[in-house]
Chains A and B, each alone.
Chain A
Amino acid sequence: MRRARQLAAATVLAVIGTLAIAASVPDIPTPYVPSTDLNVDEMLRLAEVQPGDVVYDLGSGDGRIVIAAVRDWGSERGVGVELDPKLVDGSRERARSEGVADRVSFQQGDVLKAPIADATVVTMYLLTPLVDRLKPRLISELKPGTRIVAHEYGFSDWKPDRHLQVSKNFYLYVVPVQVGGKWKLETALPAGAREYDVELAQRYQEVKGGARVAGGYLPAFEPRVSGDRIAFVLIDENVAYRFEGRASTLEMKGVVRWGTGAKQQQGTWRAVRATAVSEG
């Protein structure tokens, strides 16, 4: 019994030790384990790749994801980033023999440094420490609405927009527009022009907040951000106003609807940022 406990303690220490090493040595090499064709299909399916997409695979191995994205899904372009020059050479060769060399490219280099800003889809099969180190770049450099698909290892603290389990785990994250902070919202409602001081707190795609009006505070119900889209409901004088629109970091605008069923009406709204972007 005691020995068992000692063993367990030793194991725990060993695990902690390994983790500590992993954390202190930032560039532990990611092993090369190719995704099966089935996994590749599932990743591109989850990302809903279509013509017009630019698919980046971070840690592209033998190039199979990038090639499949262009060949099987008709994506406009595919870019692979891979550290191992031999795998990069092999990928280029494979792209030529598959007849897609003009639409795919492979960069030999570090995934933490490669330019990625024109991606509309990013796929990766990397270990969580590296995925987490990529996160700030993915959020700040990718356009809102860009889909990130992680195979088996997702971000440690970013809840996926979708989780799919088909043989393996696949996680979809949609890069959210940054809307945290204070906004001045103007709209014309049946009762007349209305101005709200909207305050939003954001953590990835999760938002909460409300609007300050003369003499009170209206909580925002059902607040949602997905890509560059935002939606929330304000209940003002017993009418539920449903705001929906598109957002950039500086401006939001869209349609506000009230009433239900056959009695539904709508107007427009616009908000401009009053303070700098703030994290929730």
Chain B
Amino acid sequence: MSGRGASLLTRRRFIAGGIATVGAIGIPVAAFSQFFDVPFVPTPQVVVDEMLRLANVGPNDVVYDLGSGDGRIVITAARKFGARAVGVELDHHLLIQSEESARQANMESRVKFVQQDFFKTDFSEATVVTMYLLSPVMRRLRERMLQLKPGTRLVAHDFDFDDWRPDRKTTIRKNVFLWIVPAQVGGRWRVRTALPEGELAFDMELRQKYQELDGFARFDGQPGGLWEPVLDGERIRFAIVDARDRDNESTLYLDGRVTPGVMEGEGTRGVGNQQRRFKWRAVKSGEVPPLKAEKK
């Protein structure tokens, strides 16, 4: 068995995906029951700590660990970070072991373990999802992750979501990745800004791929630049250069929150001691195709 060690290391996490695949091609799941007997090699504690630290887990968070193994991420999230945490694990023995560890740590009231294939689990209440899964499983989860509440943090180690670039990456013995579920902002928008000297309205087109944005603005049909767009969960910011008057160009910096079909927030115009604040609101007016993926 030792020759299989390297792949077995992550095999346990792969069970749910493996079974789903096997099910699809019609081989009886029971024939693969040896999957449940693979040796268990847990995530090192320093990496567990780093995953939860990178996600900035706190007492208001609900953490879901997909493939929770012996429960150490779930219990650490509750014990050291004060969160409520749920582990989803297929292996019955690991589940019992997790529940026992939770009892010993006096964390039973804050943690829960569910014996289930996590592809069937409803984790929409999660504010943080942690994973240690192989790339094919990560890729299959990606679309579901994008449906979570904007701002939900996803943390994984070693394996990533392929062309969805992590918002942050750190290396503490292992590579740890953080993604923040982005709001959906791709489309055409009508933006109204309440500038001190009167309302300024313009049209804006945003193309989106995950958290990456590109776009432009149009003032009464004249093109205007849209620069430095940043999407951070449900928060968006960008700069608009208003160049209608060539001799008196100005830049508007807009910062706001996204809800379905509407964005609103505060902006600034001018810089230094010339800076003026204003309110803005945008309403979605149409769809556009997504941004083409950049080559890795």
Contacts and interface: CB of A to CB of B under 8 A. Distances in A.
B81 A261 contact: yes
B45 interface: yes
Contacts of B99: none
Interface in A218-245: 221-222, 233, 235, 238-240
Contact of B241 (A44, A166, A239): A166
Given A260-B49, A261-B57, A72 B274 contact: yes
Contacts of A240: 46, 49-50, 172
B227 A167 contact: yes
A239 B49 CA distance: 10
A73 interface: yes
Contacts of A6: none
Given A38-B249, A221-B172, A235 B46 contact: yes
A233 B172 contact: yes
B106 interface: no
Interface residues of B, number: 28
A166 B270 CA distance: 14
A68 B274 CA distance: 11
Contacts of A74: 272-273
Contacts of A239: 46
B228 A263 contact: no
B251 interface: yes
B80 interface: yes
Contacts of B221: none
B93 interface: no
A235 B273 contact: no
Interface string B210-242: 000000000000000101100000000001010
Given A44-B272, A72-B272, A167-B227, A260 B171 contact: no
A103 to B, nearest CB: 14
Nearest to A240: B46
A222 B171 CA distance: 6
Contacts of A72: 271-274
A24 interface: no
How many residues of A sit at the interface, in one of the four size bands?
20 to 34
Contacts of B250: 38
A41 B274 CA distance: 10
Chain A CB within 10 Å — which of B171, B249, B272 has the most? B272
Give the secondary structure class of B's interface: mixed
Nearest to B170: A222
Nearest to A37: B249
B260 interface: no
Interface in A44-89: 44-45, 49, 68, 72-74
Contacts, number: 72
A167 B239 CA distance: 10
A235 B172 CA distance: 8
Interface in A156-173: 164-167
Nearest to A222: B170
B44 interface: yes
A262 interface: yes
B69 to A, nearest CB: 18
B225 A166 contact: yes
A97 interface: no
A38 B251 contact: yes
B49 A167 contact: no
A42 interface: yes
B295 interface: no
B82 interface: yes
Contacts of B271: 41, 44-45, 72-73
B294 to A, nearest CB: 15
A258 to B, nearest CB: 10
Contact of A36 (B45, B49, B249, B274): B249
Interface in A138-193: 164-167
Given A166-B239, A235-B173, A240-B172, A262 B82 contact: yes
Nearest to A163: B228
A166 B53 contact: no
A259 B80 CA distance: 9
Contacts of A235: 46, 172-173
Nearest to A221: B172
B6 to A, nearest CB: 21
B180 interface: no
Given A72-B273, A166-B225, A261-B52, 16 more contacts: A41-B271, A45-B271, A68-B272, A72-B271, A73-B273, A74-B272, A166-B228, A166-B239, A167-B225, A222-B170, A233-B172, A235-B172, A240-B49, A261-B81, A261-B82, A262-B82
Chain A to chain B: the 10 pairs with minimum beta-carbon distance, closest first: A72-B272, A261-B81, A73-B272, A261-B80, A166-B227, A41-B271, A260-B49, A240-B46, A38-B249, A221-B172
Interface of A: 36-38, 41-42, 44-45, 49, 68, 72-74, 164-167, 221-222, 233, 235, 238-240, 259-263
Interface of B: 44-46, 49-50, 52-53, 57, 80-82, 170-173, 225, 227-228, 239, 241, 249-251, 270-274
9 contacts: A164-B228, A165-B228, A221-B172, A222-B170, A235-B173, A238-B45, A260-B49, A261-B52, A262-B80
